[in-house]
Amino acid sequence: MKMQEIKELSEKDRDEKLSDLREEYFNLKFQLAMGKIENPGRLKYMRRDIARIMTLKDDKPKAEVAEAKEEQDSKKTADKK
């Protein structure tokens, strides 16, 4: 899944996708331990997809904090004039 596709999903859809990916990743790890996995390379791509979604989840609050700080700075600047 590409980052652009993830960005287009709603917050609720991202949460559901993350939950599904984590569950599927757990199942694949279990199959790997049992020696019954068909495509072990899939684990790598699943980890990356999980990381992409988590990155977007982490970036959103930081962006909101940055915007709030910019507003405060602009108010301080306006008050000084």
Give the Å distances, CA to CA, from 65 to 11, 44, 51, 60: 18, 32, 22, 9
∠ CA 56-61-62 to the nearest 5 degrees?
90
User: What pLDDT shows up at residue 61?
Assistant: 64
Global pTM? 0.68
Q: Which fold has domain 3-80?
A: Helix Hairpins (1.10.287)
User: What pLDDT shows up at residue 70?
Assistant: 73
Sequence-ordered alpha helix ranges (H) in 1-81: 3-8, 11-34, 42-80
Half-sphere exposure of 32 (CA within 13 A, CB side): 12
- Ordered by start, the domain boundaries in the chain are 3-80
User: What pLDDT shows up at residue 62?
Assistant: 61
Helix axes 42-80, 11-34, angle to 10 degrees: 150
Mean pLDDT by 10 residues, the chain (81 residues): 86 93 95 91 94 85 66 71 58
